[in-house]
Amino acid sequence: MASIGVVGIGLIGGSIAKGLPEPATVFDSDSKSLELARAEGLRVAGSLNELVNTVDVLFIGVPFEAFDSVFAEVQAAAATREKPLVVSNVLSVMLPVEVTEPNVVFIAGHPMAGTEHSGFENAVGELFERATWVLAPTADVDREHFALLANTVKLLGVEIVVTEPEQHNAIVAQISHLPHVLAAAQILAVPEDDKADSVYGLAASSFRDSTRVASTKAELTAAMVNNNREEVLHALAKLRGSLDAFEELLRAGDDRGVVDLFARAKKQRDEHL
């Protein structure tokens, strides 16, 4: 097995490190996370430079705002390597990444798994089992390096989907970022007054489930939505179209039409999910 490294061991990076069959080597700017990682039997590198120079594949698990500077450090550190380092990331929006170091092969990646929790303490090796992992290699990535990354993520029990970054971003806006906006919007639609308790007091599984991801750390959710602004607005416009259809039927008192609309949704969901 290739030697695998992870820099940034939050929920996703930590789950990668814990999920691999052989201990990954990790680094993080947070010393507490590194202590926890050591206690769990992971190898801890002394620095990002050391990590870059001791592994074959490196996952960058840091959030959006830290990615550029960490990737710059990785490129600088890779200059002294003897063979190329395959680098991937886990961000929920695939943004352009400029590779300037010949020793770095970058392939954008995004595991379609997560929870509303964050941090290494919530990371679990089983997070990705049966999940989909999107990879978006650019045309200049050769087959061998792609295979090295693909075989590594397969060790986590995922199915790989190869796509273009633009298509990925449009789809995640609809199936991930929009649910996060809707979850928060449903909560914000409950006025924070003395009636709030009576509203939440009746909440059953439908409300709990449809608002679950509103408990995600706000900075994480906001970063993915802000970095995918146009696609999220587009997904919201499509959703408003569906809501318009429901509203028109309800206003018209068209009970049969409402049944048909719900029936179409049920058919589509049952067929695809």
124 to 163, contacts with its own copies by CB under 8 A?
131-132, 134, 161, 163
By CB atoms closer than 10 A (0-12, 13-18, 19+), residue 22 is exposed
Which of the ranges 5-13, 36-44, 137-145, 186-194 carries the binding residues for its own copies, by CB under 8 A? Answer: 186-194
Give the H/E segment covering residue 181: helix 178-188
- The binding track of 188-227 with respect to its own copies, each residue x by CB under 8 A or -, is xxx-x---xxxxxxxxxxxxxxxxxxxxxxxx-xx--xx-
What ranges make up the beta strands (E) of the chain? Answer: 4-7, 25-27, 43-44, 57-60, 85-89, 104-111, 132-136, 159-162
The residue from 36, 85, 113, 136 that contacts its own copies (CB under 8 A) is 113
Q: Which C-beta is closer to its own copies: that of 2 or that of 131?
A: 131
Taking the C-alpha atoms of residue 272 and residue 115, their distance in angstroms, rounded to an integer, is 22
Q: Which C-beta is closer to its own copies: that of 38 or that of 240?
A: 240
Q: Which C-beta is closer to its own copies: that of 5 or that of 63?
A: 63
Taking the C-alpha atoms of residue 199 and residue 190, their distance in angstroms, rounded to an integer, is 8
65 to 94, contacts with its own copies by CB under 8 A?
none
The residue from 13, 61, 185, 194 that contacts its own copies (CB under 8 A) is 185
Q: Is 262 in the site for its own copies (CB under 8 A)?
A: yes
Q: What residues are paired with 175 via a beta bridge?
A: none
